[in-house]
Amino acid sequence: MDNELFMNTEFPTPPEMATHFEHQPSSSSAMMLNWALMDPTPHQDSSFLWEKSTEQQQQQSIFDSALSSLVSSPTPSNSNFSGGGGDGFLIRELIGKLGNIGSNNNNSGEIYGTPMSRSASCYATPMSSPPPPTNSNSQMMMNRTTPLTEFSADPGFAERAARFSCFGSRSFNGRTNTNLPINNGNNMVNNSGKLTRVSSTPALKALVSPEVTPGGEFSRKRKSVPKGKSKENPISTASPSPSFSKTAEKNGGKGGSKSSEEKGGKRRREEEDDEEEEGEGEGNKSNNTKPPEPPKDYIHVRARRGQATDSHSLAERVRREKIGERMKLLQDLVPGCNKVTGKALMLDEIINYVQSLQRQVEFLSMKLSSVNDTRLDFNVDALVSKDVMIPSSNNRLHEEGLQSKSSSHHHQQQLNIYNNNSQLLPNISSNNMMLQSPMNSLETSTLARSFTHLPTLTQFTDSISQV
Amino acid sequence: MASADKLINTYVPEKDVFALHFLQSLSNLRTQNPLNSPDKSIDRVRKIKKAAYVSMARAAGGTSRLWSRALLRRAAKDDNKSVRFSRRKRKVTWKISSKRKRSNQRAPVVEEAAERLRNLVPGGGGMETSKLMEETAHYIKCLSMQVKVMQCLVDGLSPK
């Protein structure tokens, strides 16, 4: 999946190409040359192939074997080039260089240093003039510049080479740019200047790559970031992928995927719809390597290290955590839930508790019905005087039977039952029902009314039993 | 309580509110049946139970809670009365809840428990799991308050 960052659409799979090399040495060399000369689209193929082969050792070994086969193969490849017998040598060097770039065992920081792959000991001299290990370069370079000119005059080649070197970044990560022949290359001929552009990109990459913090999930994106940051023009075809990953990086690594924006938007909607109390910056979860981002419009959720960065899975994770929060809340409510651990058992406990409460309500209502046949005749209106503020009950319902009837019927009812208005409900409140404040206000208000007293509870029950 | 309460509102009024509402409903029952002896005690029990639930729903916040709203609607439908609901401040997020139900990647353990809860808690059928648990928390609080009120009443009114 990470390689898809670099992937253009139609690519042959690298093993196919590599094995193709292996099996058919002559045609493979022809193919490699065809890479050099063909149109940009196959060049993309080749660059991709190079890149792939750099990443995977196995393919690299295949590649190296292909290289060696190339090296060993004689001159039929030379026919494509104008120029003399130095062509085969040229090609070998070039390919060796490219192989060198791809190999992880580079000797020095130079690309154009000795183009030494494992099997390329026959490659003598570099193309440009970095501080080479062997100093017999000058002649060779003179010789080679002309065919090299022609060879590298192909515009696609530099592009490919540049791209390829960028793709070979893995090998240069730990390196500084000390030995890279940027300046030297600029002193050279035009074409080698083109070639040095290839070298400069790893220089830039070597510069840039230490800066990029390697998160667990961001490690693959490092490659394309310097690509985006490098100022090379020929790196244009692969620009969609660096821009992609760059924006992913620029998102602060939120979720690490392109869909983080959509996910963030979705999260915002979900959050706002579900809980308006939660602030907008709520979902920030810090990664292992980076500090949490400041809250923005969306609620950003970062994928944790080692977890999928899929937007769905992130949403799942947030939702799970929400549910876990509420479970904790419920745990406090339900008695005896502290010992139980695990969601399933706790949920069972909660369900049992709700069921038990409902059964209790039913049982008590049964009891009330048997007990309160005649005992419920007390003046509710006395309890609900106009001066009494009922806290926090928002009765905007107009359901019949509760309000209108209570106001109409209870003026004349059972005044004789009540002896003392302060004693009925305080007796009930002795069972922790706090009706003191309404009762206090009632004392003042009911004096103005027709009835003067409310019974004590015992008196109340006695009088009712007498009825 | 957990600090999550600040985010999740599970405020429940004091006991006296519940008591008030319940007593009102009981007295209304009383006036509705002046004969004091309906044919079967089961009917009376049912009426009292329903009065208890309705008063609890009303005391707990009227129509501002999903479960209370569903409860009141259910009760009103039985009595062929109409319940007027206040305007919901939040827009209905049917899209999201339906989207969530479609994706069956939720933990099945949690989900089957949520199903059972939905059957218990009034109005639970339309909610998704996290919302359901909020409502359950509030419902549990209100239920326990109502049970206490009724217990007190029964204790107060039962012969000594």
Inter-chain touch B49–A361, beta carbons under 8 Å = yes
Out of A270, A365, A380, the one facing B24 most closely (by C-beta) is A380
pLDDT recorded at residue A197: 47
What digits encode the pLDDT tens for the residues B114-140?
A: 888 888 888 877 778 888 888 888 888
pLDDT recorded at residue A355: 92
Window from A229-243, A248-262, A441-455, B109-123 with minimum mean pLDDT: A441-455
Residues A304, A253: contact at Cβ < 8 Å?
Answer: no
Nearest CA in chain A to B84: A397
Token look-up 């020095």 returns A108
List the structure tokens of A272: 């706002």
Phi-psi region of B96 (alpha: psi -120 to 50; beta: other; left: phi over 0): alpha
Q: How many CB pairs under 8 A join A and B?
A: 249
pLDDT at residue A185 greater than cutoff 80: no
Nearest CA in chain B to A465: B159
Chain A window 389-418: which residues touch B at a Cβ cutoff of 8 Å? 390-402, 405-406, 409-410
pLDDT recorded at residue A162: 54
Nearest CA in chain B to A404: B28
Q: Which residues of chain B register pLDDT less than 70?
A: 1-7, 34-40, 83-106, 160
pLDDT recorded at residue A135: 47
Tell me the chain A residues in contact with residue B121 when contact means C-beta distances shorter than 8 Å. 354
What digits encode the pLDDT tens for the residues A317-351?
A: 888 888 888 888 888 888 888 787 778 888 888 88
pLDDT recorded at residue A91: 58
More confident residue, A459 or A98: A98
Inter-chain touch A378–B136, beta carbons under 8 Å = no
Name the pLDDT band for A99 (thresholds 50, 70, 90): low
A280 near B CB under 8 A: no
In angstroms, how far is CA B34 from the centroid of its own chain?
A: 28
User: How far is residue A408's CA from residue A458's CA, in Å, rounded to a whole number?
Assistant: 27
Mutate to test the interface with B, among A359, A433, A459, A467 (most CBs of B within 10 A): A433
pLDDT recorded at residue A356: 92
CA neighbor of A142 nearest in space, from A181, A183, A188, A184: A188
List the structure tokens of A258: 């392109």
pLDDT at residue A239 greater than cutoff 80: no
Average pLDDT over residues A255-279: 42
Average pLDDT over residues A120-126: 46
pLDDT recorded at residue B39: 64
Mutate to test the interface with A, among B11, B20, B112 (most CBs of A within 10 A): B20
Name the pLDDT band for A370 (thresholds 50, 70, 90): confident
Please give, one letter per residue, the 3-state secondary structure of chain A: CHHHHCCCCCCCCHHHHHHHHHHCHHHHHHHHHHHHHCCHHHHHHHHHHHHHHHHCHHHHHHHHHHHHHHHHCCHHHHHHCCCCCHHHHHHHHHHHHHHHHHCCCCCCCCCCCCCCCCCCCCCCCCCCCCCCCCCCHHHHHHHHHHHHHHHHHCHHHHHHHHHHHHHHHHHHCCCCCCCCCHHHHHHCCHHHHHHHHHHHHHHHHHHHCCCCCCCCCCHHHHCHHHHHHCCCCCCCCCCHHHHHHHHHHHCCCCCCCCCHHHHHHHHHHHHHHHCCCCCCCCCCCCCCCCCCCCCCCCCCCCCCCCCCCCHHHHHHHHHHHHHHHHHHHHHHHCCCCCCCCCHHHHHHHHHHHHHHHHHHHHHHHHHHHHHCCCCCCCCHHHHCCCCCCCCCCCCCCCCCCCCHHHHHHCCCCCHHHCCCCCCHHHHHHCCCCCCHHHHHHHHHHHCCCCCCCCCCHHHHHHHHHHC
Inter-chain touch B117–A347, beta carbons under 8 Å = yes
What digits encode the pLDDT tens for the residues A276-313?
A: 444 333 434 444 444 445 545 566 777 777 777 788 88
CA neighbor of A306 nearest in space, from A184, A190, A218: A218
- Closest chain A C-alpha to B115 CA, distance in angstroms: 10
pLDDT at residue A443 greater than cutoff 80: no
pLDDT recorded at residue B88: 53
What digits encode the pLDDT tens for the residues A14-44?
A: 444 444 444 444 454 445 444 444 544 444 4
Average pLDDT over residues A397-410: 41
User: How far is residue A36's CA from residue B53's CA, in Å, rounded to a whole number?
Assistant: 84
Residue A159: what residue type?
Answer: E
pLDDT recorded at residue A68: 55
pLDDT at residue A3 greater than cutoff 80: no
Average pLDDT over residues A116-124: 46
pLDDT > 90: percent of chain A: 1
In three-state secondary structure terms, B100 is helix
Tell me the chain A residues in contact with residue B98 when contact means C-beta distances shorter than 8 Å. none
More confident residue, A163 or A350: A350
Mutate to test the interface with A, among B67, B153, B155, B160 (most CBs of A within 10 A): B153
pLDDT recorded at residue A177: 46
More confident residue, A390 or B33: B33
pLDDT recorded at residue A408: 40
Residue B63: what residue type?
Answer: T
Residues B17, A389: contact at Cβ < 8 Å?
Answer: no
- Closest chain A C-alpha to B59 CA, distance in angstroms: 5
Residues A30, A95: contact at Cβ < 8 Å?
Answer: no
pLDDT recorded at residue B54: 87
Name the pLDDT band for A64 (thresholds 50, 70, 90): low
A361 near B CB under 8 A: yes
Inter-chain touch B133–A330, beta carbons under 8 Å = yes
User: How far is residue A77's CA from residue A256's CA, in Å, rounded to a whole number?
Assistant: 45
Name the pLDDT band for A141 (thresholds 50, 70, 90): very low
Q: How far apart are the first and last CA of chain B?
A: 38
Name the pLDDT band for A243 (thresholds 50, 70, 90): very low
- Closest chain A C-alpha to B101 CA, distance in angstroms: 13
The pTM for the full model equals 0.44
Inter-chain touch A406–B27, beta carbons under 8 Å = yes
pLDDT recorded at residue B17: 84
Chain A window 312-341: which residues touch B at a Cβ cutoff of 8 Å? 312, 316, 319-320, 322-323, 325-330, 332-334
User: How far is residue B153's CA from residue B151's CA, in Å, rounded to a whole number?
Assistant: 5
